[in-house]
Structure formats: structure tokens, C-alpha cells
Structure 1
Amino acid sequence: MRGHIGSTLRELRKASGKEAKAVARSAAMSPSKLSRIETGKLAPTAMDVDRILAAIGVSDEVRAGLVETARREATEATAWRLYRRSGFHLHQDAIRSVEAETAIQRVFQPSCIPGLCQTPEYVRAILGAKGLTAEMLSRTIGARLQRQAVLFEPTKSFRYLITESVLRWRLVSPPEMAVQLDRLITLSRLPNISFGIVPLSTPMTEAPSSSFVVYDNRMVIVEIPHAEITTSEPKDVELYLERFSRFELQALTGDAMREMVGSIRDEFLREHKGIQPGGTGTR
């Protein structure tokens, strides 16, 4: 299986006339990694295959055929410790490459503000808990912030669903949380971005469980505490699309969403200023 996928990728690359270095660069991976994949020495993840095919520029028919071949091993779990070893900033580059080839991105997040929507302070708080060196932390923060430029591409669509608890979870100081929530309100006004907030008071028939991202209808990435799981199995993708739709039905959107976020933002601002609800201040 591994060798067959690798040799097929190599043949497609050579047929395209593109050099290995150029494909590796476009796929956000090192030439040595691409070489190991092509020679069957390294099993490519679903994300690797997707990025390589996008860099080669194959037809939809050829792409579908190879994806069908790879589906028997379409689910991979990559431990966070491996990303820490290879460099979290390289993983950010890999995700950016996938996002560049995605028309519609659906994100469900019950734990924290979605990565593309995070302020620099929030990014630092999230990544600072991963035990990175100062240099690696700086490079990873830069790589994540660089990814955010994709939000302003009008040809792409972003649909975000988060729970109310995410808005209240204090990963940064109250004034920084206020700035973060204000950013959500600003982004929600862009025509290609939609936000839905699932209120804590809404009756639910299922628990939110893990966060996940669906890229078009071809791939899902699920985050769990110790690893990141990637799948391109059609039934798995469909399962997460249906789950997203069910949660979306319960979410506040548009002005109602902005009113809720704005209210919580104002709570953080009042706390910072020492103002009690209905009062003028404590000092």
C-alpha cells in the first residue's frame, strides 16, 4: 500500500514535469520527506497526499482515483509530541497548505477560540502551554498568525461553531479576553465568515466532545488531548458534516450572536475596571 501510493505520486509528479523540490515547497514539506514518500520509505498521511496532489495539480478524476486507493489507510493519529519534536511551526505551514486548497472550512470548537480567529495574545496563551522553547514558540506564533490571511480571501468560506463556554474560558486576562471577543464580532461581519454560538442554556441531545475541522467534503481533522486524528474516509467525513449541521441548528447567528458575544465582552471590561453589574465602580 505504502509503496504503491508513493510510486503513483512519483509518476504523477514526473508526468506533470514538476521537479521534486518545487512540489515539496508547494506542499509545505521538505524534499527529503517527499523523497521518502515517493520511494515507499514513509507512509504519507491523508494530509500529505492531499497537499502533494494539490501541488502537482492533477485532474479531479486522477485525484479521486488515488484518494480511493489511499482510503484503506485514510485515518491517522499523530501524537502532539511528534509535532513538538519536528516543529509546531512546520505543522502550521502544513495546515496552511491544506487551507489554501479548501473552498469551505467548517470548524466546531468547544474548547477554545478557533486558531484563525485568535489574537496574538490568545495564540501565545494556547501555545505556551505546550512546553515549547522560546524560539519554537515565537516561530509557531508567527506561522499561525500568517495563516490568518486566508480569512480575507473572498473566494473562501468559513463557518465557525463554538460553545458559549469558549467565550468565558479565561485563557488570557479579562482585558485581553475582551479584545479577543471583539475580534470575533469584527470577523463575523465579513461576508465569507459565519459564526454560530451554542448557548449553555440550549437543551442538547448530544455532548460536544472533541473539536474538529472539515475541509470541503474531503477531509476531517479531529483534535483530542494527546493527538490529532485525520480522516478522509467518506463515511467519517459525512458523520462530522451531519454533526456540524445538528449543532448549527442550535446556534445563535448574526445579530443575536454578536449581541451575546458583545455582552460577555462587556462583562470582562467591567471586571477589569472594577465595576459591578448595575454599579459605578468599587474604587
Structure 2
Amino acid sequence: MAIEPDALDRTGLELAAMLRQLRRQAGLSGARLAARCNMSQSKVSRIEGNRVRPSLVDVEQILKGLGVSPAVAAEAMAMARIAQTEWQDRKALHRKGLDKKQLELAGLEAATTDFRFFLLSMVTGLLSTPEYIRASILNAPPTQQAKAVSMKLERQAVLLDRSKRFTFILTEQAVRYPLVAPDAMAAQIDHISSLARQANITISLLPSSVRYSDTPLSTFTVYDQRLATIETDLGAAVFRDPRDVRSLLDRFAFYEDQAVTGDAAQEWLSRWAWSFRN
């Protein structure tokens, strides 16, 4: 799933311009269209001015109110689906403050029951030791690091909530990436192994000997069946369209079928921890 931040911004502008042009072609004022859509005139104005991100339902209501052809509606909905994808630039997040991002994640985790994590290259903060977390944010502004570590560790309390279910799929690369010294890496892998024994946590592994994809991969997380994120080195894309979320759920299920879990996963973790100790 290719992610191009500039394309996301362009699509939002193009969708706003398209909806504005369609309204004018229909000979409707903003007020008349709003009345047809059971929507406020100010909301219609903000959507047409690209000052608010319309939901798919919003776009469907507007297109229905305009009475456009099926072909035009399909084109507009395709654009709306792309525009619904939110891009979070990593540099901008650092400027905004890592604490803001941690609060956002904590709120999302509090509202989620079923978590699915596919970890491609590194271990996520929820599974990390303090030393691993500190090493993972060294590129952040020094003034933010201590608070970010503290907030990441506080977020780990969500794993103790037995009403929530966590499934983690980790590649061998993610588990064994030498972010910290060998003894600390062994402790990090032992930590993952211990968490795998919790009833509400499933740890599945994809050893490098297992062929599980012919396409480029990205780290991604699915929260229930309502929202998903894909992470790259540049930032993260947030998907809310049910079709995008469903696509990632299907991909996760496929990886899960290829992965090892239970006692077999524990054996792999023990072997990898031993390799760092020796």
C-alpha cells in the first residue's frame, strides 16, 4: 500500500474543488444544498473550502443532494476515500512534542478492545524495556526524551487490562534488531517472552526462514475494526475507511497463518536471546 503524503494533500484540494464545481453546475446555493443534505451551510462551506476533512458519509450526502450520475459519484467517492487518509509527519510530530503523541495513543488505546500489531523492523513501545525505549527515541529533541520515556512506560499499563486483547506479529528482524547492547537485547527478548504468557497477549513470530510476502512491507496497527495506521520512516498514515481497515485485517490474518506462536515462538525467542548472551 503506497503512501504519498503530497498526493493525500492534493486529493483533499481536488475533492473540495470538485464538490464546489458540481454544486455550481447544479445551480444550487450552499444553503439549498445544505438543506437537501440535512447539513449546516457553514459545514458545506468548510468542505468546499478544504477547511475540514469530510467523512465518506458527508460526501455521499452531498452527492445525493446534487443528484450526480453514478460515474461522477464513483469518481468523487474514490477521491474522498484517499482524502480520508490522514498523514502524520514525523518531523512535525517532534516539533509538536512527543508527549502530545503519547497522549493521543493513550486515548486511542483506552477506546480499543482488540489490537493487532504487525512489527516489521523494531519492537513497539508496549513491548519494550526502559533501556530499549530510551534508545528508540534518541533522535527526538533532548528536552522531550525523559518525559516521552515516562509516558511510554505508563502506557504499558493497558496490557494489564484483561478486557483487552493484544496480538503482536513480529518479524525476526524486529526482535533481533540490535538497538541496544547485547545484554540489554537479551533482556528485551526475555521481556517479550514473559509478556507472551499473559492470557490476553498473543506473540507470533515470522522467522527469516519463513517466506510470507513478495511485496514491500510496512509496520501497521489495527484498532478494533475502525481505524488503522501504517508507519514509515517519514511518518504515519491513519486510515478510517472500512475498506482500508478490512484490507489490513486480511493482510494481518495472512501473516498470522504463516507465523509461529505458543511453545514454538518461545523456543525461537529463547534461541535469539541466547545468541545475544553469547
Structure 1 and Structure 2 fold alike (TM over 0.5) = yes
Change (3 A) 1:182 1:45: farther
Q: Which has the larger radius of gyration?
A: 2
1:200 aligns with 2:238: no
Relative to the length of structure 1, the TM-score reads 0.70
1:125 aligns with 2:121: no
Q: What's the RMSD between the two structures over aligned residues? A: 2.8
Secondary structure, aligned partner of 1:206: coil
Specify the alignment match of 1:49 in structure 2.
none
TM-superposed deviation, 1:224: 1.0
Specify the alignment match of 2:264 in structure 1.
256
1:158 aligns with 2:193: no
Specify the alignment match of 2:67 in structure 1.
none
Specify the alignment match of 2:181 in structure 1.
173
Question: Could you tell me whether the CA contact under 8 Å between 2:53 and 2:84 is conserved in 1?
Answer: no
Provide the aligned length of Structure 1 versus Structure 2: 219
Letter in 2 for 1:113: V
Specify the alignment match of 2:229 in structure 1.
221
1:182 aligns with 2:190: yes
1:103 aligns with 2:113: yes
Change (3 A) 1:177 1:42: farther
Unpaired runs of at least 5, structure 1: 9-36, 47-63, 271-283
Unpaired runs of at least 5, structure 2: 1-14, 17-33, 41-45, 62-76
Question: In 2, Cα distance between the equivalents of 1:45 and 1:224?
Answer: 25
Question: Could you tell me whether the CA contact under 8 Å between 2:186 and 2:276 is conserved in 1?
Answer: yes
Specify the alignment match of 2:151 in structure 1.
143
Change (3 A) 1:182 1:80: same
Deviations 1:10-32 (A, max 9, x none): xxxxxxxxxxxxxxxxxxxxxxx
Secondary structure, aligned partner of 2:137: helix
Letter in 2 for 1:87: G
Percent identity, please: 32
Letter in 2 for 1:78: Q
Deviations 1:82-139 (A, max 9, x none): 11111011101101100100000000011101220011111111111x2x23220111
Relative to the length of structure 2, the TM-score reads 0.72
